[in-house]
Amino acid sequence: MKRIILLSLSIAATGILFSRASFKLVALVLVASIICSCIIYLIEKFVTHPENAFVHKRFIILDILLVSWLMIRFYSKWGTNSFIMTLMSNMNVSLPIALGIIASVLGIIALHAIDTMFCLGESLLLLITKRVQSINDPYNLFAVLVIVFMQNMILNYSGLQTFETLGMQSIVATVFNTMVILSVNLLFAILIRNWKVTLTLTTVVFWIWSIADYYVVKFHGSPLYFSEFANAKTAANVMSGYQLEISSVVIIITIIALAIIAEIILFVSHVGIFNKDKKILKICTTLVLLILCSAASVFGYKKVDPSSHGWAPWTEGLQTGGFLYESVYDLEKRQNPIVEPEGYSVESIKKLKSDKINSESYPDIILILNETFCDLSYSVDFKADVDPMAAFKDIDGATYGHATVANVGGGTNDSEFELLTSNSRYLLSSSAPFTFLPEKHLKNSIVRFLKEGFGYETTAMHCGIAGNYSRNIAYPYLGFDNIYLGEDSFKYLSSYGNRKWLDSDNYHDLTDHYEEGGEGPRFMYLLTFQNHGGYEQNEPSSDTVHVGTDFGSLTDDADEFLSSMKSSAEAFRDLTDYFKDSKRDVIICMVGDHAPAFIAELPNDAESPIDDESINKCTVPYVIWSNFDAKMTSYADYATMTDLVPMTLKAAGLPLSAYYKTILDLHEELPIRTKTGKYYDRDFKSGVFGGDTDNQFLSDYYNMEYNSLHAGVDYIDELYTVAAK
């Protein structure tokens, strides 16, 4: 009876710690724990050895981790509970001290229940395997399974940075993740024939992967899945600009990894499940194959649906599917990257006609995607001693507006894709299109339109590493004549503090190449670098803009970012001054690619007609300027990234393809559209594509984009080009 009472209290304490409920459900948890205790007691008495059900020294390191986690869990859950706060106040007891004591006691009691479960599993494993001669040490196998679980845990924790969601994973996903990690360990164990070395090696790999994943999530906004390994060079180049502080998350991941290694050293035997019998080697090899095949069949449970976009936040997928499960799912999506829009029909777009060429002379066009060029005031209400956008806002003849990009705080390649192709990310199942789309999917762009339709000389420029996001491959696919990629291709290099490759430098290189152009019309595309994160590269004394609003630890980041924005705005004003007196007609469109990553941690408290915080934080400035009397007749206040090229072409007086005309018609009615299918009209009323009130222009647009991207037998080239006179 004493054991039942003790175990009941232990399970009840565990329930309180893990529960999201109020005190009203504690009684229910207690009743359930008594029932569980009785069942466990009977199993211990009649099936296993009772002595195994006590705290076992083999799990001491796990115990320390678990009790620490349980204490933190209790403290964070009940620390703001009004009942406890009132009770402690009446007792004149310090709340932190009281919570610390209660959390410690409950954590230690709950530890008994958890240890009981571990030891029970150990006993059952011994019972099952006692007649299997080939398995020398069932405890060793049990320790391996615990280590595999912990390896999986640090991967999940690195992305979500909380342990609370571990219990939310589906059974299918949990089985998949466990089998994959176990098979990886088994595979190395077969080759190395030593469990200690194998488990230590894989733990170090998962530890490095988890640390990298944490920083990628922090600075890029999405996890380091398998597919992101293709962007390793880009990531390394990007990370060089950030200060990688050692946060509590990094410390926790490292502690868990060290605890795993300690468990391996103390409790895993060298050989373990292997003996001298070669049959065991064959059995393990077969087991690896069976696990992988089973995992593949389990994964079929979530096979990519070509009609589904799956645009739920990645955090939801990670919570329910786990890191490896979602990583493989993301990889599979890239094998079938183009999503067919609902109700796709080529018949609905055949009737659409392109314009005819009506002139022999057209202006030069310059398109600038400005790295992290963002006006924080679009979403954040703050004060500063200097307006960083003053120079940008004071350019004669410029048309200004707000542009919606695909992602919050990252995703340059997504913005690049949408700007150059006018194709929405809505029909792509994965990010960074340049890294996985072949040539046939990139042939329809502003580059081909101007080059083949009007004889433009086309140039692309970016001072970043040529292989970043596979630009060295994608730019030729897009059709650029002249491509300048990498530091060696740029002549001018100055710095603002430690920030190099200023916009003013890039603009000097652009104007030099512009002057080298031929007699025909010229199209130039420039992706800048200056404003790239991180924003702790300079000493605070270098900042020229200072926020008067306290953003806590992000205040210094905001100062450096806004100071860089001020420099960027002044450089663009100087660029327009350069072309103001040019003898050739020039039109320039400049837009930011996304907001800084830290905007996700800032409040969304600025006045905005849009009721969606994620859209406000995906909004960047754009400008269209010309040195001649360009007719800017499009609605300008808001636009989507895909709209900017057609708007610029129309202002420049060029005839438009049916595709660009459809985009402009759509823009006039629904200027704000997201990669999730959500849209806003000019009165800021929202809707979602696929609903009962879909716009015909929106349907035509997605049908044309799909027809262009998949380039199948129903492809209609005339929709994306202009006709002769």
Is residue 343 included in any domain, yes or no? no
Question: Of the residues 77, 97, 131, which one is the last residue of a structural domain?
Answer: 131
400 with 427, same domain? yes
Is the model more confident about 86 or about 543? 543
pLDDT of residue 338: 85
pLDDT of residue 306: 42
State the average pLDDT for the chain: 78
Query: Which DSSP string corresponds to 67-86?
Result: HHHHHHHHHHHHTT-HHHHH
pLDDT of residue 49: 45
Is residue 188 included in any domain, yes or no? yes
Question: How many Å separate Cα 279 from the centre of its chain?
Answer: 45
105 with 163, same domain? no
Cα–Cα distance measured from residue 402 to residue 638, given in angstroms and rounded to the nearest whole number: 5
Contact 192, 380 (CB under 8 A): no
pLDDT of residue 9: 52
Question: Among residues 147, 252, 157, which one has the least CA distance to residue 203?
Answer: 147
Is residue 546 included in any domain, yes or no? yes
pLDDT of residue 52: 42
228 with 264, same domain? yes
Which of 295-299, 343-347, 362-366, 638-642 is least confident? 295-299
683 with 571, same domain? yes
Question: How many Å separate Cα 296 from the centre of its chain?
Answer: 25
pLDDT of residue 303: 45
Give 523-548 pLDDT, tens digit per residue. 999 999 999 877 888 888 899 999 99
Is the model more confident about 66 or about 458? 458
Domain count, the chain: 3
Q: Residue 701 is part of a domain; what is its CATH number? A: 3.40.720.10
Is the model more confident about 527 or about 10? 527
137 with 256, same domain? yes
Q: Residue 648: which pLDDT band, with cuts at 50, 70 and 90?
A: very high
Averaged pLDDT for residues 591-611: 92
Is the pLDDT at 28 greater than 60? The verdict is: no
Helix or strand run (H / E) with residue 39: helix 26-46
Question: Among residues 152, 338, 288, which one has the least CA distance to residue 711?
Answer: 338
For the ranges 39-48, 155-164, 418-427, the maximum mean pLDDT occurs at 418-427
Q: Give me the half-sphere count of Cα atoms (radius 13 Å) on the Cβ side of residue 43.
A: 17
238 with 360, same domain? no
Averaged pLDDT for residues 384-388: 94
> Which tokens go with 196?
């200690």
Question: How many Å separate Cα 527 from the centre of its chain?
Answer: 21
CA angle 170, 9, 319 (to 5 degrees): 20
Is the pLDDT at 473 greater than 50? The verdict is: yes
Question: What are the angstrom distances between the C-alpha of 712 and each of 153, 254, 706, 707?
Answer: 43, 50, 10, 7
Which of 41-55, 598-612, 635-649 is least confident? 41-55
Question: Of the residues 131, 165, 195, which one is the last residue of a structural domain?
Answer: 131
Cα–Cα distance measured from residue 411 to residue 166, given in angstroms and rounded to the nearest whole number: 28
Is the model more confident about 303 or about 250? 250
Is the pLDDT at 396 greater than 60? The verdict is: yes
pLDDT of residue 264: 78
pLDDT of residue 17: 47
Give 117-160 pLDDT, tens digit per residue. 555 555 555 555 444 433 445 446 667 777 888 888 888 888 77
Averaged pLDDT for residues 366-370: 98
End-to-end distance of the chain based on CA atoms, in angstroms?
97
126 with 137, same domain? no
pLDDT of residue 119: 58
Percent of the chain with pLDDT over 70: 68
pTM: 0.70
Give 231-283 pLDDT, tens digit per residue. 555 555 555 555 667 777 888 888 888 878 877 777 676 544 444 445 555 55
Averaged pLDDT for residues 55-83: 57
Is residue 345 included in any domain, yes or no? no
Which of 202-206, 441-445, 534-538 is least confident? 534-538
pLDDT of residue 248: 76
pLDDT of residue 544: 94
Is the model more confident about 272 or about 198? 198
* Residue 712: Cβ within 10 Å count: 10
pLDDT of residue 158: 82
Domain span at residue 41 reads 1-131
Is residue 418 included in any domain, yes or no? yes
430 with 499, same domain? yes
59 with 198, same domain? no
User: Residues 6 or more apart from 76 whose CB is under 8 A from it?
Assistant: none
pLDDT of residue 467: 79
594 with 620, same domain? yes
Query: Which DSSP string corresponds to 376-410?
Result: GGGT----BSS-TTHHHH--TT-EEEEEE-SSSS-
Question: What are the angstrom distances between the C-alpha of 173 and each of 18, 193, 328?
Answer: 21, 29, 11
Is the model more confident about 369 or about 319? 369
Is residue 684 included in any domain, yes or no? yes
Amino acid at 464: G
Is residue 411 included in any domain, yes or no? yes
Which of 94-98, 256-260, 426-430 is least confident? 94-98
Question: Of the residues 288, 305, 336, which one is the last residue of a structural domain?
Answer: 336
98 with 173, same domain? no
Cα–Cα distance measured from residue 332 to residue 325, given in angstroms and rounded to the nearest whole number: 11
pLDDT of residue 712: 76
Amino acid at 443: K
pLDDT of residue 197: 85
Residue carrying structure tokens 């503090």: 497
Is residue 206 included in any domain, yes or no? yes
Classify strands 678-680 and 686-688 as parallel, antiparallel or unpaired: antiparallel
Cα–Cα distance measured from residue 720 to residue 354, given in angstroms and rounded to the nearest whole number: 8
pLDDT of residue 106: 61
Give 650-668 pLDDT, tens digit per residue. 999 999 999 999 999 999 9
Classify strands 638-640 and 522-527 as parallel, antiparallel or unpaired: unpaired
pLDDT of residue 234: 55
Provide the total of helices (H) and of strands (E) in the chain, helices listed first: 24, 13
Is the pLDDT at 30 greater than 80? The verdict is: no
216 with 312, same domain? yes
